[in-house]
Structure 1
């Protein structure tokens, strides 16, 4: 309403200026009458539309209530505004109804044209903003649906890989297979009972990652060592669920497992030039020595797609060889304001 009132005041000043230039007379007098009529009409119509629009998203009543409201606003604004102007200048009451000199016709015509024009402008502005909000809502819903789809693709991918490892372990070390199955049961209970939120704190992502690494430790034993480094000031930073697990899974499957003595995985988060950077590095066989595997790029591609969906061009993932051997995957995306 305040924005509409300010626009109405500016428009009334323009009308007063135009009347002074074209018809002569006192600019201050035209301004008082114009502001009085415009302000009364604006208050009547703007308050009325909010009271009778109900739950309409555009906040404008439909036909015929909207047309009746505008018509009543013009009539009330014309009579009350002119009475205010007459009282301000000490003119005889209802002097504006005098037909002499076409004063009444001119004032009524200007009032009708100005009121209809301003109402159409405000209605178009409100409808445009409503349509823009609907477009943004549709885009947000599409983004949420895409993220949920990507997450539902990642969860079975991780589960199938874990079950395949469990099947191998059952034949060679049944006790460790039972321990791994217990870990898997606990991990799935925690994961499936969680909400399908589009984001969760980085601390929750690290906790889930720790559970997954513990699950893998049952199978790999001392061949798998890991370190998780999360600064306290980044614990509450929101990130998409299952963002880091594909990277860790990739490090284990293609980096540490082909290496007889295994190796170490380090996951660390840091703030860098307004961006959140998360680094997943391993001491495995490295990119060049990693054996080809069917579907090996699935997890990495999913991570890239999720970053692009949530953060656009500012969400990036890079994969490079570590100077000391192994592979380093780095994620960077904007920190929330």
Structure 2
């Protein structure tokens, strides 16, 4: 990743509430330094305009260094307040705030930012008072000029934060629509191939094993009933997702016979949790196609959902060839995984992840982590 790309990624992460920040310290320090310079310049310009000495020698000698001190205190206040909130707040609260895509997000960050600015300004003025101004801090804060200056700064902060988050919402909504359209296109390419293969299998079974052909048609109908409804919507529930997986795995068991064993685990309290559709099925397809089908003995694919530290984990595990095994042609493993990651980012930002891990005992473990918000307790 280039310097520009890593810096842009660090900037995007600054707009998220995260308990553990993945960016390197030099990029975070660079962002803080740019913000410090921006705040200091803004404070100095506002003060110079109000006093009518902008650009004068007195402005350069007194107000610029003084406001840089205030800006440093403001940045320290921002860092201390937001990092303390991220570390102390429960994960579900961070996920809820991150998931807001309306006025609540702008209001939360605007009010918090103004409070941080006030704390930093008061501390910074205290330092200035001790160093050279000689003014009593209480007397200074009691003047109308101080509050006029802080009101102007607060308005600037609020407008900037509101504009930034409005632009972020529009970008994320556009990205989500593009990603969902790509998913529909990809699914439209995959489904006919899967449908034709299934119908061909049924046709070949009709003559010598009509009972099995009938059972495959019944499972195929169950799969269509479960999957077509999800393809038409932007949201599904875990119960619907697992119903589709059960129908799909039933078809795969008819094709692979005793070589495929299935384990599904969905706690009752998570059945109504909402999530984007078709997250787990591509991972199940990869587990069978790349992990189990190449093995003569086959194996087991296990799909589970559970609540861990206030988050939803969806895991697809198999005891197949593993991540280092040879990949079969036409499986679309990388495309499916990249598509899921893009959809998660578009819907949840950095609050959702997809990991591919080596499974203990052999095989592969795919783990999706999603936020559980107030709407999904």
Both proteins in one fold, TM over 0.5: yes
Runs of 4+ deviating beyond 6 Å: 126-134
1:179-218 correspondence to structure 2 within 5 Å: 179-193=215-229, 196-218=232-254
Structure 2 match to 1:314: 351
CA contact (8 A) 2:180 2:343 kept: no
- Tell me if 1:296 matches 2:333: yes
The higher radius of gyration belongs to 1
CA RMSD of aligned residues (A): 3.3
1:193-242 Cα offsets, whole Å, 9 max, x none, are 45733222211111111111112122112211111111222222211000
- Tell me if 1:332 matches 2:364: no
| C-alpha spacing 1:327/1:165, structure 2 compared with 1 (3 Å) | farther
CA contact (8 A) 1:205 1:244 kept: yes
- Tell me if 1:232 matches 2:268: yes
Query: SS at 2:326's partner residue?
Result: coil
Structure 2: state its 5+ residue gaps. 1-155
CA contact (8 A) 1:225 1:263 kept: yes
Distance 2:169 2:325 in 1: 46
Distance 1:131 1:196 in 2: 33
What's the CA shift for 1:263? 0.9
Residue 153 of structure 1: which of 179, 185, 197 is its match? Answer: 185
Distance 1:194 1:319 in 2: 25
1:97-132 Cα offsets, whole Å, 9 max, x none, are xxxxxxxxxxxxxxxxxxxxxxxxxxx9x9999978
| C-alpha spacing 1:285/1:133, structure 2 compared with 1 (3 Å) | closer
1:39-78 correspondence to structure 2 within 5 Å: none
Distance 1:260 1:171 in 2: 25
| C-alpha spacing 1:172/1:321, structure 2 compared with 1 (3 Å) | farther
Taking structure 2 as the reference length, the TM-score comes to 0.50
Distance 2:340 2:349 in 1: 13
CA contact (8 A) 1:154 1:299 kept: no
Distance 1:239 1:220 in 2: 30
CA contact (8 A) 2:318 2:363 kept: yes
| C-alpha spacing 1:272/1:127, structure 2 compared with 1 (3 Å) | closer
Distance 2:313 2:173 in 1: 27
1:29-80 Cα offsets, whole Å, 9 max, x none, are xxxxxxxxxxxxxxxxxxxxxxxxxxxxxxxxxxxxxxxxxxxxxxxxxxxx
- Between the two structures, name the one with larger relative contact order (CA 8 Å, sep ≥ 6): 2
Query: SS at 1:222's partner residue?
Result: helix
Query: SS at 1:280's partner residue?
Result: strand
CA contact (8 A) 1:255 1:290 kept: no
What's the CA shift for 1:311? 1.3
| C-alpha spacing 1:297/1:140, structure 2 compared with 1 (3 Å) | closer
